[in-house]
Amino acid sequence: MNVLLSPAEVVAAYAGTGEKKCALPFLRAFLLAVLAGALIAFAGAATNTAAHSAEGVGTVRLICGLLFPFGLGIVILTGSELFTGNCLIAISVAEKTATLAGMLRNWCIVYLGNLVGSVAVAAGCAFTGQLDYSNGGLALFTMKLAAGKCALSFGNAVVLGFFCNVLVCLGVLCAMTAKDTSGKILGAYLPVALFVLCGFEHSVANMFYIPAGLFARSVPAYAALAAEAGLDLTALTWGNFFLRNLLPVTLGNILGGAGVGLLLWKGHKTN
Protein backbone atom coordinates (compact mmCIF):
# COMPACT_ATOMS: atom_id res chain seq x y z
CA MET A 1 0.00 0.00 0.00
CA ASN A 2 1.43 3.38 -1.04
CA VAL A 3 1.33 5.78 1.92
CA LEU A 4 2.83 8.72 0.04
CA LEU A 5 1.62 10.86 -2.82
CA SER A 6 4.11 11.67 -5.56
CA PRO A 7 5.13 15.31 -6.09
CA ALA A 8 2.98 15.47 -9.23
CA GLU A 9 0.00 14.07 -7.32
CA VAL A 10 0.49 16.64 -4.55
CA VAL A 11 0.60 19.55 -6.97
CA ALA A 12 -2.53 18.27 -8.71
CA ALA A 13 -4.27 17.78 -5.35
CA TYR A 14 -3.43 21.32 -4.26
CA ALA A 15 -5.10 22.71 -7.38
CA GLY A 16 -8.36 21.33 -5.95
CA THR A 17 -7.52 22.47 -2.43
CA GLY A 18 -6.97 26.03 -3.58
CA GLU A 19 -10.28 25.95 -5.44
CA LYS A 20 -12.08 25.02 -2.21
CA LYS A 21 -10.26 27.72 -0.25
CA CYS A 22 -11.37 30.38 -2.72
CA ALA A 23 -14.98 29.19 -2.42
CA LEU A 24 -15.12 29.49 1.38
CA PRO A 25 -17.77 31.91 2.69
CA PHE A 26 -16.35 35.06 4.25
CA LEU A 27 -17.18 34.23 7.87
CA ARG A 28 -15.89 30.66 7.70
CA ALA A 29 -12.62 31.73 6.07
CA PHE A 30 -12.19 34.57 8.57
CA LEU A 31 -12.81 32.41 11.65
CA LEU A 32 -10.47 29.68 10.42
CA ALA A 33 -7.88 32.39 9.78
CA VAL A 34 -8.27 33.78 13.30
CA LEU A 35 -7.62 30.27 14.59
CA ALA A 36 -4.52 29.86 12.42
CA GLY A 37 -3.16 33.23 13.54
CA ALA A 38 -3.64 32.26 17.17
CA LEU A 39 -1.98 28.87 16.63
CA ILE A 40 1.09 30.46 15.04
CA ALA A 41 1.14 33.01 17.88
CA PHE A 42 1.04 30.21 20.47
CA ALA A 43 4.05 28.66 18.75
CA GLY A 44 5.79 32.05 18.89
CA ALA A 45 4.96 32.45 22.57
CA ALA A 46 6.34 28.98 23.25
CA THR A 47 9.63 29.67 21.44
CA ASN A 48 10.12 32.99 23.25
CA THR A 49 9.42 31.38 26.61
CA ALA A 50 11.75 28.45 26.01
CA ALA A 51 14.60 30.48 24.51
CA HIS A 52 14.55 33.75 26.44
CA SER A 53 17.21 32.76 28.98
CA ALA A 54 19.40 30.69 26.65
CA GLU A 55 22.99 31.74 26.01
CA GLY A 56 24.21 32.28 22.47
CA VAL A 57 22.39 32.98 19.22
CA GLY A 58 22.91 29.44 17.96
CA THR A 59 21.28 27.94 21.03
CA VAL A 60 18.34 30.33 20.82
CA ARG A 61 17.77 29.58 17.14
CA LEU A 62 18.04 25.83 17.76
CA ILE A 63 15.42 25.93 20.52
CA CYS A 64 13.09 28.01 18.35
CA GLY A 65 13.66 25.74 15.37
CA LEU A 66 12.76 22.66 17.37
CA LEU A 67 9.52 24.12 18.77
CA PHE A 68 7.99 26.55 16.28
CA PRO A 69 7.20 24.06 13.45
CA PHE A 70 4.52 22.39 15.57
CA GLY A 71 2.44 25.53 14.99
CA LEU A 72 2.18 24.83 11.26
CA GLY A 73 1.55 21.15 11.96
CA ILE A 74 -1.48 21.99 14.10
CA VAL A 75 -2.70 24.50 11.50
CA ILE A 76 -2.64 21.76 8.87
CA LEU A 77 -4.32 19.15 11.08
CA THR A 78 -7.11 21.54 12.11
CA GLY A 79 -7.77 22.78 8.58
CA SER A 80 -7.14 26.39 9.60
CA GLU A 81 -6.47 29.12 7.06
CA LEU A 82 -2.91 30.52 7.03
CA PHE A 83 -1.98 33.34 4.66
CA THR A 84 1.56 32.18 4.01
CA GLY A 85 0.48 28.67 3.07
CA ASN A 86 -2.37 30.04 0.97
CA CYS A 87 0.15 31.73 -1.31
CA LEU A 88 0.14 28.29 -2.95
CA ILE A 89 -3.30 29.09 -4.37
CA ALA A 90 -1.21 30.42 -7.26
CA ILE A 91 -1.11 26.74 -8.33
CA SER A 92 -4.90 26.71 -8.56
CA VAL A 93 -4.91 29.91 -10.61
CA ALA A 94 -2.32 28.45 -12.97
CA GLU A 95 -4.36 25.25 -13.27
CA LYS A 96 -7.51 27.36 -13.86
CA THR A 97 -9.39 25.77 -10.95
CA ALA A 98 -9.47 29.18 -9.24
CA THR A 99 -9.48 32.77 -10.45
CA LEU A 100 -7.05 35.55 -9.64
CA ALA A 101 -9.89 37.49 -8.04
CA GLY A 102 -10.81 34.50 -5.89
CA MET A 103 -7.21 34.10 -4.75
CA LEU A 104 -6.87 37.78 -3.84
CA ARG A 105 -10.19 37.66 -1.96
CA ASN A 106 -8.97 34.66 0.04
CA TRP A 107 -5.63 36.30 0.80
CA CYS A 108 -7.28 39.49 2.09
CA ILE A 109 -9.77 37.69 4.34
CA VAL A 110 -7.21 35.25 5.69
CA TYR A 111 -4.55 37.91 6.24
CA LEU A 112 -6.97 39.99 8.30
CA GLY A 113 -8.07 36.96 10.31
CA ASN A 114 -4.47 35.90 10.95
CA LEU A 115 -3.71 39.43 12.19
CA VAL A 116 -6.67 39.39 14.59
CA GLY A 117 -5.76 35.99 16.03
CA SER A 118 -2.06 36.75 16.41
CA VAL A 119 -2.50 40.19 17.95
CA ALA A 120 -5.08 38.84 20.40
CA VAL A 121 -2.60 36.26 21.69
CA ALA A 122 0.14 38.93 21.86
CA ALA A 123 -2.09 41.16 23.98
CA GLY A 124 -3.01 38.27 26.23
CA CYS A 125 0.65 37.43 26.86
CA ALA A 126 1.70 41.04 27.48
CA PHE A 127 -1.17 42.18 29.69
CA THR A 128 -1.79 39.11 31.86
CA GLY A 129 1.68 38.47 33.22
CA GLN A 130 2.82 35.68 30.89
CA LEU A 131 5.96 37.73 30.19
CA ASP A 132 6.90 37.82 33.88
CA TYR A 133 9.18 34.78 33.61
CA SER A 134 12.73 35.32 34.93
CA ASN A 135 11.65 38.49 36.74
CA GLY A 136 10.60 40.08 33.48
CA GLY A 137 13.44 38.57 31.47
CA LEU A 138 10.93 37.16 29.00
CA ALA A 139 9.47 40.64 28.50
CA LEU A 140 12.96 42.03 27.80
CA PHE A 141 13.63 39.25 25.30
CA THR A 142 10.27 39.90 23.61
CA MET A 143 10.87 43.63 23.29
CA LYS A 144 14.44 43.19 22.04
CA LEU A 145 13.34 40.67 19.41
CA ALA A 146 10.51 42.92 18.24
CA ALA A 147 12.78 45.98 18.02
CA GLY A 148 15.28 44.04 15.92
CA LYS A 149 12.58 43.01 13.47
CA CYS A 150 11.38 46.62 13.19
CA ALA A 151 14.92 47.78 12.41
CA LEU A 152 15.33 45.59 9.30
CA SER A 153 15.88 47.40 6.02
CA PHE A 154 13.05 47.09 3.49
CA GLY A 155 15.15 45.07 1.05
CA ASN A 156 16.46 42.65 3.64
CA ALA A 157 12.95 42.08 4.98
CA VAL A 158 11.68 41.22 1.48
CA VAL A 159 14.45 38.69 0.88
CA LEU A 160 14.13 37.11 4.33
CA GLY A 161 10.37 36.88 3.77
CA PHE A 162 10.95 35.27 0.37
CA PHE A 163 13.23 32.58 1.76
CA CYS A 164 10.86 31.95 4.64
CA ASN A 165 7.82 31.23 2.54
CA VAL A 166 9.64 29.05 0.07
CA LEU A 167 10.24 26.75 3.03
CA VAL A 168 6.81 27.18 4.64
CA CYS A 169 5.03 26.33 1.39
CA LEU A 170 7.33 23.37 0.86
CA GLY A 171 6.28 22.30 4.36
CA VAL A 172 2.61 22.52 3.37
CA LEU A 173 3.22 20.47 0.22
CA CYS A 174 5.42 17.93 2.02
CA ALA A 175 2.63 17.46 4.58
CA MET A 176 0.24 16.74 1.72
CA THR A 177 2.41 13.86 0.52
CA ALA A 178 1.47 11.87 3.63
CA LYS A 179 -1.82 10.14 4.35
CA ASP A 180 -1.28 9.69 8.10
CA THR A 181 -1.01 12.19 10.97
CA SER A 182 2.64 11.53 11.83
CA GLY A 183 3.68 11.85 8.20
CA LYS A 184 1.84 15.14 7.81
CA ILE A 185 3.48 16.61 10.92
CA LEU A 186 6.96 15.44 9.90
CA GLY A 187 6.47 16.76 6.38
CA ALA A 188 5.56 20.19 7.71
CA TYR A 189 8.17 20.10 10.45
CA LEU A 190 11.46 19.86 8.58
CA PRO A 191 11.18 22.82 6.14
CA VAL A 192 9.75 25.11 8.83
CA ALA A 193 12.53 24.14 11.24
CA LEU A 194 15.03 25.25 8.60
CA PHE A 195 13.43 28.69 8.17
CA VAL A 196 13.32 29.29 11.91
CA LEU A 197 16.92 28.14 12.41
CA CYS A 198 18.04 30.58 9.72
CA GLY A 199 16.03 33.47 11.16
CA PHE A 200 13.93 34.14 8.06
CA GLU A 201 10.85 36.37 8.34
CA HIS A 202 7.27 35.05 8.52
CA SER A 203 4.54 37.70 8.28
CA VAL A 204 1.99 35.89 10.46
CA ALA A 205 4.55 35.00 13.13
CA ASN A 206 5.60 38.66 13.17
CA MET A 207 1.96 39.58 13.79
CA PHE A 208 2.63 38.04 17.20
CA TYR A 209 6.30 38.78 17.85
CA ILE A 210 6.19 42.53 17.18
CA PRO A 211 2.83 43.41 18.78
CA ALA A 212 3.89 41.37 21.83
CA GLY A 213 6.94 43.61 22.11
CA LEU A 214 4.89 46.75 21.53
CA PHE A 215 2.32 45.77 24.14
CA ALA A 216 5.09 44.86 26.59
CA ARG A 217 6.66 48.28 26.10
CA SER A 218 3.35 49.87 27.13
CA VAL A 219 3.40 48.03 30.48
CA PRO A 220 5.16 50.35 32.97
CA ALA A 221 7.00 47.55 34.81
CA TYR A 222 8.39 46.13 31.56
CA ALA A 223 9.27 49.58 30.22
CA ALA A 224 11.22 50.27 33.42
CA LEU A 225 13.13 47.01 33.02
CA ALA A 226 13.97 47.93 29.43
CA ALA A 227 15.28 51.33 30.50
CA GLU A 228 17.32 49.77 33.30
CA ALA A 229 18.81 47.23 30.89
CA GLY A 230 19.63 49.95 28.37
CA LEU A 231 17.56 48.41 25.57
CA ASP A 232 17.33 50.59 22.47
CA LEU A 233 13.64 50.47 21.57
CA THR A 234 13.55 53.49 19.27
CA ALA A 235 12.69 51.30 16.27
CA LEU A 236 9.85 49.58 18.12
CA THR A 237 6.83 51.54 16.87
CA TRP A 238 3.53 50.59 15.26
CA GLY A 239 4.56 52.49 12.14
CA ASN A 240 7.75 50.46 11.77
CA PHE A 241 5.80 47.27 12.45
CA PHE A 242 3.50 47.88 9.49
CA LEU A 243 5.81 49.70 7.07
CA ARG A 244 9.33 48.39 7.78
CA ASN A 245 8.47 44.80 8.65
CA LEU A 246 4.97 43.59 7.83
CA LEU A 247 4.75 45.20 4.39
CA PRO A 248 8.10 44.01 2.97
CA VAL A 249 7.94 40.63 4.69
CA THR A 250 4.45 40.05 3.28
CA LEU A 251 5.68 40.95 -0.22
CA GLY A 252 8.56 38.51 0.18
CA ASN A 253 6.23 35.82 1.50
CA ILE A 254 3.95 36.21 -1.53
CA LEU A 255 6.84 36.04 -3.98
CA GLY A 256 8.41 33.05 -2.27
CA GLY A 257 5.24 31.06 -1.73
CA ALA A 258 3.63 31.71 -5.10
CA GLY A 259 6.99 31.34 -6.80
CA VAL A 260 7.81 27.91 -5.42
CA GLY A 261 4.22 26.78 -6.06
CA LEU A 262 4.36 27.83 -9.71
CA LEU A 263 7.81 26.30 -10.12
CA LEU A 264 6.58 22.94 -8.88
CA TRP A 265 3.38 23.22 -10.93
CA LYS A 266 5.39 23.83 -14.10
CA GLY A 267 7.90 21.10 -13.26
CA HIS A 268 5.30 18.43 -12.52
CA LYS A 269 2.56 19.43 -14.96
CA THR A 270 1.49 16.38 -16.90
CA ASN A 271 -0.22 18.04 -19.86
Which tens digit of pLDDT belongs to each residue from 151-201? 999 999 999 999 999 999 999 999 999 989 999 999 999 999 999 999 999
Report the chain's C-alpha Rg in angstroms: 18
pLDDT of residue 3: 72
Model confidence band, residue 1 (pLDDT cutoffs 50, 70, 90): low
pTM of the complete model beyond 0.85: yes
Closest C-alpha among 120, 128, 198, 121 to residue 164: 198
Q: Three-class SS of residue 199?
A: coil
**How does pLDDT run across 193-241, given as a tens digit for each residue?**
999 999 999 999 999 999 999 999 999 999 999 999 999 999 999 999 9
Tell me if 70 sits within 8 A of 182, measured CB to CB. no
Query: 252: part of which helix (H) or strand (E)?
Result: helix 247-268
Residue 35 contacts residue 162 (beta carbons within 8 Å)? no
Residue 269, pLDDT > 90, answer no
- Whole-angstrom distance, CA of residue 134 vs CA of residue 44: 18
Is residue 91 scored above 60 in pLDDT?
A: yes
pLDDT band per the 50, 70, 90 thresholds, residue 270: low
